[in-house]
């Protein structure tokens, strides 16, 4: 009995000592941060929708999904269009050559003065290189571009009667013109269906699971087998629009993307809807578009003219200095076409 009383009396004294000496100091300094970290992690995990592992997809299933994506994009961008300002095939050809490694906006701010000085292939063929370079300087890489413009203008004057040819085989013989540029001109100036594989189109074609190819020519061939020829030109516009506005190169806005349920790459970008909406660009983000003269059905604002933007002489390193250029059209010369 005496021993039992001693144990009962001793036990309560031992417990507080252990708690005060070992648990409380350690708990306040180490346990709480760990708990907070775990809670934050759990909250983040709960906020992200569970991504079910996809079953292997048959070719037929992929084609059906791809065509559904095209239909969804058509509803999302019923106003999709080429984002270069032009009035004739020659202007579109020149503008497309200038668009390599810069924004369509920058080109649109440059071409009014360019076409005022050289309205025809004959005029541009006879241009003074230094004067031409000075006009197109804002687009970057102006010396190489000036050589291409003068070269293709001479070819148009001497070999095609001063007219832009309406055949792919002829267009790709012009200096500085590859399949991408040729398809832009054919699809938008001549109504000849073509798939324009710029960096946006190639990136989204891979994210959508249409192809794993990196080479633009192979991407074009793979996508051409999925869609009817009549869809090629508008498909190109829709995919490029989506790449510029939502499915960005570095931070795709997955949480604000209407195509997300059909996209195998969902989750590569920001999935939180609120954060994703802040990444939207152009009319999707309440900002002006890239054209100074957009189509009548374009829901956004027109872009500002060059004289409203201080940029002259500051774009030699545009591809590095301007974040908007980071995922723009690949130069045809870089595609080795």
pTM above 0.95, yes or no: no
Q: What is the pLDDT of residues 308-336, one digit of tens each?
A: 654 444 433 333 333 333 333 333 433 32
- For 254-264, write each residue's pLDDT tens digit: 999 999 999 99
Angle between helix axes 216-224 and 199-207 (nearest 10 degrees) is 60
H or E element that contains 108: helix 104-117
Query: 203-244: per-residue pLDDT in tens?
Result: 999 999 999 999 999 999 999 999 999 999 999 999 999 999
From 48, 180, 272, 297, active-site residue: 180
Instruction: Assign 100 a pLDDT band (cuts: 50, 70, 90).
Output: very high
Active site residue 180: yes
Q: What is the pLDDT of residue 61?
A: 98
pLDDT tens digits, residue range 24-81?
444 434 433 443 343 344 334 334 444 456 678 999 999 999 999 999 999 999 999 9
Among 198, 278, 307, 332, the active-site one is 198
Distance in angstroms (rounded) separating the CA atoms of residues 310 and 325: 17
Q: Which two tokens stand for residue 178?
A: 């590859």
For 23-56, give the secondary structure using H, E and C.
HHHHHHHHHHHHHHHHHHHHHHHHHCCCCCCCCC
Token pair for residue 286? Answer: 């309440």
229 annotated active-site = no
């Amino acid at each position: 009995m005496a021993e039992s009383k001693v144990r009962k009396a001793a036990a309560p004294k031992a417990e507080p000592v252990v708690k005060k000496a070992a648990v409380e100091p350690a708990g306040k300094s180490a346990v709480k941060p760990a708990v907070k970290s775990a809670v934050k992690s759990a909250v983040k995990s709960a906020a992200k929708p569970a991504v079910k592992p996809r079953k292997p997809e048959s070719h037929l299933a992929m084609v059906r999904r791809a065509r559904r994506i095209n239909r969804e994009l058509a509803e999302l961008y019923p106003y999709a269009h080429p984002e270069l300002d032009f009035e004739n095939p020659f202007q579109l050809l020149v503008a497309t050559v200038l668009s390599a490694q810069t924004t369509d906006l920058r080109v649109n701010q440059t071409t009014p003065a360019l076409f005022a000085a050289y309205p025809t292939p004959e005029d541009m063929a006879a241009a003074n290189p230094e004067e031409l370079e000075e006009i197109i300087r804002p687009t970057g890489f102006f010396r190489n571009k000036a050589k291409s413009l003068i070269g293709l203008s001479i070819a148009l004057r001497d070999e095609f009667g001063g007219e832009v040819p309406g055949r792919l085989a002829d267009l790709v013989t012009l200096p500085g013109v590859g399949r991408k540029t040729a398809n832009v001109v054919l699809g938008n100036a001549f109504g000849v269906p073509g798939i324009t594989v710029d960096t946006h189109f190639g990136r989204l074609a891979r994210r959508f699971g249409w192809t794993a190819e990196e080479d633009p020519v192979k991407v074009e061939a793979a996508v051409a087998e999925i869609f009817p020829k009549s869809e090629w030109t508008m498909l190109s516009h829709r995919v490029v629009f989506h790449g510029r506005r939502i499915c960005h190169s570095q931070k795709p806005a997955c949480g604000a993307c209407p195509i997300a349920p059909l996209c195998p790459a969902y989750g590569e970008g920001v999935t939180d809807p609120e954060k994703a909406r802040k990444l939207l660009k152009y009319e999707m983000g309440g900002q002006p578009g890239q054209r100074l003269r957009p189509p009548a059905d374009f829901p956004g604002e027109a872009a500002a003219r060059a004289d409203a933007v201080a940029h002259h002489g500051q774009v030699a390193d545009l591809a590095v200095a301007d974040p908007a250029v980071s995922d723009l059209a690949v130069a045809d010369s870089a595609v080795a076409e």
